[in-house]
Amino acid sequence: MRYIQLRAFHNVAVHGGFSKAAEQLAITQPAISDHVRRLEEEYDILLFDRSKKQVALTSFGRQLLDITRHLFDVEKQARDILSEKRALRSGTLRIIADSPHHLLHVLAAFRKKYPGILVSLRAGNTNEVVSALSSYQADIGVLGEVPAGQAFNIVRLNSTPVVAFASKDFPLQGEKAISLEQLATLPLVLREPGSKTRQILERFARDNNIPLKATIEAEGREAVREIVASGAGIGFVSGAEFGYDRRLVQIPVEGLDRQMEEALICLKDRENSRLIRTFMGVARPA
């Protein structure tokens, strides 16, 4: 087994094909294919299913990929230490967040200290955040609740209440606040089941023996906001994420005192990455 063979396998697996791996490594496709073939022949295993149009990993291939992800991440950390990235003058930090609002103050402080670092930020629900971190597709995640039993380093960000909101023209019969029982009779616009906001709301309803059912289910916070703004129903969001929108008003719900806690997380086995460690340090309270 040679390093170049593992590198060829890893890039084919990560980039989904031999030609893309060849482009990434700046070598020919036949060379990539030969490295992978020699690795398979040496150990008498099949790493890729080549019977389909798209290259697919076999069970052996998936097991090996789990190992090479760690191998090449450690290699990257070593390069970072030995290169100019040690001074944090360049590089890319990949963040996936269930909501970027809780991260804005950290981003501002980090960018002020390290303007040469490119921060790539994308959205995802709880399952997507955990999956992206575990597969090394992201460096840092932002979650409302850290899954139990996961090997994460955690920095708590803030805690804000869950609030209900509706279109300013939504008929509420002039009431200043509504009860949970009344809420159950109104059309509700809820996010997808993986949403932490929805999980908190449904847990609160179960604790009070009140059935809540979505009239409209939408993926993503902005989709819920636009549907609610059209007058189609009532939505829910963290108080920190409500912001200002002249089309919308908050609706007090009696007894709805559940908090949305947000945390910055990274895999424990990646805590030695200088870039990750530095960002977590900026977020950590003084």
For residue range 29-78, list pLDDT tens digits in order: 999 999 999 999 999 999 998 877 778 999 999 999 999 999 998 888 88
To the nearest whole number, what is the mean pLDDT of the chain? 87
Most confident of 5-19, 176-190, 237-251: 5-19
pLDDT for 40: 93
Token code pair at residue 118: 């490119």
CATH classification (class only), 3-80 = mainly alpha
Cβ neighbors of 136 (< 8 A, separation 6 or more) are 69, 73, 270
Most confident of 48-57, 219-228, 249-258: 219-228
DSSP string, 137-186: S-SEEEESSPPTT--EEEEEEEEEEEEEEEETTS--TT-S-B-HHHHTTS
Q: Is the dihedral of CA 169, 171, 175, 178 positive or negative?
A: negative
- Of the candidates 13, 9, 35, 12, which has an alpha carbon nearest to the alpha carbon of residue 23? 12
Least confident range of 143-147, 243-247, 274-278: 143-147
Fold match between domain 3-80 and domain 84-157+262-283? no
Gap between the Cα atoms of 27 and 19, Å rounded: 10
More confident: 29 or 272: 29
| Residue whose tokens read 């087994």 | 1
Gap between the Cα atoms of 75 and 68, Å rounded: 10
Instruction: Say whether pLDDT at 242 is over 90.
Output: no
Determine what percent of the chain is predicted with pLDDT higher than 90: 43
List the chain domain ranges.
3-80, 84-157+262-283, 159-259
pLDDT band with cut points at 50, 70 and 90 for residue 198: confident
- Of the candidates 85, 224, 94, 96, which has an alpha carbon nearest to the alpha carbon of residue 166? 224
pLDDT for 149: 64
Please name the fold of domain 159-259. D-Maltodextrin-Binding Protein; domain 2 (3.40.190)
Q: What would the mean pLDDT of 186-212 be, rounded to a whole number?
A: 86
Going by their DSSP bridges, the two strands 216-218 and 189-191 should be labelled as: parallel
More confident: 180 or 218: 218
More confident: 123 or 227: 227
CA-to-CA dists, residue 99 to 125, 140, 159, 162, 193, angstroms: 9, 13, 13, 13, 16
For residue range 132-167, list pLDDT tens digits in order: 998 889 999 998 777 666 688 888 887 778 888 999
C-alpha 240 chain-centroid distance: 18
More confident: 79 or 26: 26
φ and ψ at residue 34, rounded to 5 degrees: -65, -40
Token code pair at residue 177: 């606040």
pLDDT for 243: 79
Q: Is the dihedral of CA 22, 32, 134, 53 positive or negative?
A: positive
pLDDT for 148: 67
Determine what percent of the chain is predicted with pLDDT higher than 70: 95
pLDDT for 181: 86
Q: Which spans in 184-273 are helix H?
A: 196-207, 221-229, 239-242
**CATH of segment(s) 84-157+262-283:** 3.40.190.10
φ and ψ at residue 238, rounded to 5 degrees: -65, 140
